[in-house]
Structure 1
Amino acid sequence: MPARISETFRAAASTGHALDAYLDVEADPAADITLGRPAPAGASLLWTGTGISAGNTGNIGSLKQSRLDLATSSGVGIVAAGSAVRPAGVLRTAATAGTLRLRWAQSVSSASPTTLKAGSWLRLMRSS
């Protein structure tokens, strides 16, 4: 099973939050990367993974920007030279504060590691 990494953010109760990130990823192009977002109980999240379509091994291809909900993970393609992945979304919490997590893993198991490089960042900002 591929390794999984989580980043955790505190989200205030009954509030809207803007989520964005810049992920500089190097990986086996056949492995790609899958992103997911567990969130506080009762929260809603609309988000996109924004990157090239999974399975694309070249720099030219479809840009994936489908709108996803909280329960949906998304696979994004990685090219041999490395890829920029730009997840973004809107989190709306219910009456209870909680934790939002970014989870990622290889979409397809590979002996080559998937590396989230230095300079990558994640941000959760209160918007209302």
Structure 2
Amino acid sequence: MPYPVYPAGRRITASLLQAAVPLEAMKAADTDRASTTTVTADPELILALAASAEYQIEGMILTSNANQAGDLMCTLAGPAGAVGTWSVMGPDTLASSDANTIRQRSFSLGTAAGYGHPGANQMAYPLHGRIITTGAGNASFNWAQVASNATPTRVAAGSWLRAIRTG
């Protein structure tokens, strides 16, 4: 059933209409991370979620750099107490020289997974997920390098996340 529910006779209010609008975050600037394997939230890919709600998450993570060695370690994180799953389609870390070898798995919310980055090519990693919250808080795309490397791994401007409330 779509959210919110509009039963016959219900008064349409601004807050009811606002609840139907998807939440969106778009990166305006590149973010580089070097010499780190500690997964932390991207400063721009953050969405404020309501308490006791269900969301469908989608996005596109763009990377662009010449650092094949660092690769990309990432996760979708949610507010404290939230549960859910997420997935990203991208090259496996063992196949980082071949962008055609795709890793497609799902993970629990907050579980990090590594993806390859084939050299200087720009990559687009489609992201999908589902989050069920208990309390209000942020959902975020968290990331770092798979292997610590002095050459930065970059999540590029134009990356985006969207949350559509479904319950």
Q: Identify whether the pair has TM-score above 0.5, normalized to the shorter chain.
A: yes
Matches of 1:120 and 1:40, distance apart in 2: 21
1:9 aligns with 2:9: no
Return the TM-score normalized by structure 1: 0.87
Q: Partners of 1:31 and 1:108 in 2: how far apart?
A: 5
Deviation string 1:33-78 (CA, Å, 9 cap, x unpaired) is 01123321221011112111112112221x2121100241011111
- Residue 43 (1) aligns with residue 82 (2): yes
Residue 53 in 1 paired to residue 92 in 2? yes
Q: Distance in 2 between matches of 1:97 and 1:5?
A: 17
3-state SS of 1:107 partner: coil
Residue 98 in structure 1 maps to residue 132 in structure 2: no
Pick aligned residue for 2:106 from 67, 70, 94: 67
Instruction: Give the paired residue count.
Output: 126
RMSD of equivalent CA atoms: 1.7
Superposition TM-score, scaled by structure 2 size:
0.68
Unmatched segments (≥5 aa) in structure 2: 1-34
Using the TM superposition, give the Cα deviation of residue 5 of structure 1 relative to its aligned residue in structure 2, in angstroms.
Answer: 4.7
Q: Identical aligned pairs, as a percentage?
A: 28
- Check 1:45–1:124 CA distance in 2 against 1; reply closer, same or farther (3 A cut): same
Q: Hey, what's the Cα distance between the residues in 2 that align with 1:98 and 1:71?
A: 14
Any gaps of 5 or more consecutive residues in structure 1?
A: none
Q: Deviations over 1:2-55 (max 9, x none)?
A: 275523211111111111111110241121101123321221011112111112
Amino acid at match of 1:9: L
Give 1:100 deviation, angstroms.
1.3
* CA distance in 1 between partners of 2:111 and 2:136 (Å): 21
Aligned-pair distance for 1:90? 0.4
Q: Which runs of 4+ in 1 moved over 4 A?
A: none
Retained in 2: the 8 A contact 1:32–1:55?
Answer: no
Residue 83 of structure 1 corresponds to 123
Take 1:67 and 1:37, find their aligned partners in 2: how far apart are those partners? Answer: 11
Match of 2:19 in 1: none
